[in-house]
Chains A and B, each alone.
Chain A
Amino acid sequence: GQQLNQSPQSMFIQEGEDVSMNCTSSSIFNTWLWYKQDPGEGPVLLIALYKAGELTSNGRLTAQFGITRKDSFLNISASIPSDVGIYFCAGTHNNDMRFGAGTRLTVKP
């Protein structure tokens, strides 16, 4: 089955910088989710988006559900060292859930 196209694959940024990553697909999804995975742990949900066009914030994180229902982006403002990790997008359609390959974020103090 088709996975989501997530970019960039990795990012190296300076503490305090803003970060942006996105996911695209050729298929539409009913829900877009953004997860963060720390080393040795399972993914933890950051933001869930349920409606096309929806823009949702969670602290320094902001995510949007694309109007076409085929894409989503996640922004992190004023990054801090604990933002380090792998970020995954996920889309669901009915009972089918697909994940992006992840964006590995490194934050230099």
Chain B
Amino acid sequence: EAQVTQNPRYLITVTGKKLTVTCSQNMNHEYMSWYRQDPGLGLRQIYYSMNVEVTDKGDVPEGYKVSRKEKRNFPLILESPSPNQTSLYFCASSLIGGGETQYFGPGTRLLVL
């Protein structure tokens, strides 16, 4: 089944404790992206990747890192999480960038205490 998977789905952590949210897609998509969703703000793009080893900042990249060493994986790294990073995170992928239809993962709900 074609899908985007994220892990974990739920995470509670404390300020400053490094964490990684994994994202994987099995559709051989070149483009992958991370979003955060907050009430009243919709989805805001954190980082995106056009292909392996190519990443770019989105709207709200501060406090996040990403890497794209393999085509199928695009982990989101929070080196020192803070409470304002409490949010719902979505990973998405598409065949190519530039407006091509994106497929979203199920989301990761993060709470930073």
Contacts and interface: CB of A to CB of B under 8 A. Distances in A.
Contacts of A30: 98-99
B42 A42 contact: no
Interface residues of B, number: 25
B41 A101 contact: yes
Contacts of A31: 98-99
Contact of A6 (B42, B98, B103): B42
Contacts of A102: 42
A59 interface: no
B102 A3 contact: no
Contacts of B56: 95
A95 B43 contact: no
B59 to A, nearest CB: 4
Contacts, number: 63
Contact of A95 (B4, B97, B105): B97
Interface of B: 4, 33, 35, 40-45, 48, 50, 56, 59, 90, 92, 97-99, 101-107
Given A31-B99, A95-B56, A96-B45, 11 more contacts: A3-B41, A41-B107, A42-B4, A42-B92, A42-B104, A45-B102, A48-B101, A94-B98, A97-B45, A97-B99, A101-B40
15 contacts: A33-B102, A35-B104, A40-B107, A42-B92, A43-B90, A50-B99, A88-B42, A90-B43, A92-B99, A95-B50, A96-B45, A97-B102, A99-B42, A99-B44, A102-B42
